Structure 1
Amino acid sequence: MKHKKLIGLGVAVMAAFLMAQTPSGAYAAKGDQGPDWSKYQNDTGKFGYNTDKFAIAQLGGTYGGTLIDQVTYPGQIQSGLSRGLRMHTYLWYGVGGSTDLGAKALDYYLPKVQTPKGSIVALDYEDGASGNMTANTDAILYGMRRIAQAGYTPMYYSGKPYTLSHVDYKRIIAEFHDSLWIAAYPNYLVTPKPNYAVFPSMDGVALYQFTSTYIAGGLDGNIDLTGITDNGYGKQPTPPKPTPSPNPSVSNQDYAQNGIFTASTTVNVRSGLANNSSVVATYAPGESVNYNHIYIVDGVVKAGYVAASGNTRYVSVGLIPGESFGFRSASNTSRTYTIQYGDSFWSIANKLGVNMYTLAAKNGKSINSMIYPGQNLQY
């Protein structure tokens, strides 16, 4: 059982949520139920019903900067897996509005997660919020980004009233669609099935914690509304929409890109810096331009190529408005790394022997930007 639970009252939810009780072919887990566990459910967990398909165990948490492990976590994970449950993880995330405390917690706990890559790692945020909603939300999003970068499915847990008072949840679901795990109970009677008359009607709810008295004696009961508990068990999470990064400034800077440059709009290559210089070549969209370098100096796009004489010549490139390039530092040789599941800027930088801040900047990102398996990074 977690700390305090928030009981929400409401009206009957629309039919779309009622349909979530029935599993679908698209998501095998949709409509599945299961408990969540903390130290109060002992080393082996407390089981609800034979029909349960998943459980979510507490790894530990940060309580205003104090990190406390749940010694029951490893045993609960193994016990649940041995019973055929899809096991997932949550952390008590008592960071208020502090991203620094969030970083401390994630640095410590992410290496200790014992559920599979792709599985849920939820942030339990139901106490200790600061008076600054923006800061609270920033700290939550920071934690969820770190979880995603580590290769897991991030979720946010709380009650609806607490969330509406302290968190801009729409920012969360704009970046992590269907990532909310929300609690609302009709009463404290034994409740084996969800009562949708008190459903916390919000966009983005993927898990509904519908009771803290799932069975006699007390146990949290949850229902999967979207199939999210399949993640890590034959189904990988859908990458969230990346947070847009600002275009790099080109004024008084020198950027270069080795290799073949491919135009996305028509490019006129001119023999001088002025737009009225003679055009020496024109390249259409998708046509390869076999220059050794494309680079920018003081906002002017230039290209370098080897002339027939063997001497390197430089020409400016006249662009149709809206043309854009990818940039990298002119001082480094271009190398590419393909992101793997579980990677973060920190782990990649250590693997490659580079600075993680420099690595992120070279790719137009910060160390808190989302990265996804299969993407390429220049370093």
Structure 2
Amino acid sequence: MTRESVTTAMRRALAIADRGPVTGVNPRVGCVILSPAGDLLAEGWHRGAGTPHAEVAALSALANPADAVGATAVVSLEPCNHHGRTGPCSEALIAAGIAEVVYSVDDPGEHSGGGAERLRSAGVEVTGGVLAAEGGAFLRVWLTAERAERPFVTLKWASSLDGRAAAADGTSQWITGTAARHHVHERRAASDAIIVGTGTVLADDPSLTARGEAGELTAHQPVPVVIGERAVPANARIRQHPQPLVAVGHHDLAAAMRQLFDSGIRHAFVEGGPTLASAFVAAGLVDEYLVYLAPTLLGGPRLSIGEIGVGTLADARRLRIDSVEQLGDDLVVIARPIPPHTHDTTPQTHPADARHERTT
């Protein structure tokens, strides 16, 4: 088996993994099975919770199950080694007679990891780390959540070019244009949960649904989460959301994120006002920044971000720009914190009561 053929197969495994659902507790995984001569025998990917994992799907796609004997399985993630809703992929590969397993990224799960060791103990040749950078980038959201045992957090805000979330009188609907707002709904639909503070709920009465260009609900709806001690009104629009409301009756963000992780949330989309946004930043809980910039100037005090614990330039929260895209007249900037995280990660406890850019 040549390195080139294995690399090509791994790129194929990553490509078909992308067909799996972007939301949910499970990672997107692809598997390609090669003959000893390097020919493609079968492929499969994970289609969602409760369905066969990629390795089992690929084995099931073989024209003749006996073809697995002596073959190589190329997988985008280390085969799992635990009994969940399906059996361990490591055991399925061993039982099928696979002779070699090549994977891209180690499974960091406390219960699901260890597949490589199990395979080696059964005499299977195992190679990890093939296209690890590409595999890690593809699984960044899921890997971050699993390693930190909290959801991957995308923080979104919209502002004028001078960083204001609203005019001096509080008006903010709409700072950005239609294309930017459609983009927000696409990102909501790709998340497991959408988070706001009680201040946003009481001031704006948002629905927090993901909607298409015609206003229709998308197939997947993020779970609505409200953080704050004040009660959500019985007649609030958020209570009509297709998903049940999760009301977090405190301001301990670290505890709230662990609660969401334990409930199966792996990607959280944080909206709302500057107070909640600033609390997430100050707590060191933001993995991705999604900032929409409108070509307008507002001036005044209503900044998109408030106090985040930076007293001097040396303490600034440094970011890396991943992309900049024009959406109509607006820009969307996607950035991430530059590792390592050396700032204090103590959760902030002040109320999330502010809002400026209206959330619907």
TM-score (norm 2): 0.24
TM-score (norm 1): 0.23
Q: Which has the larger radius of gyration?
A: 1
Higher strand share: 1
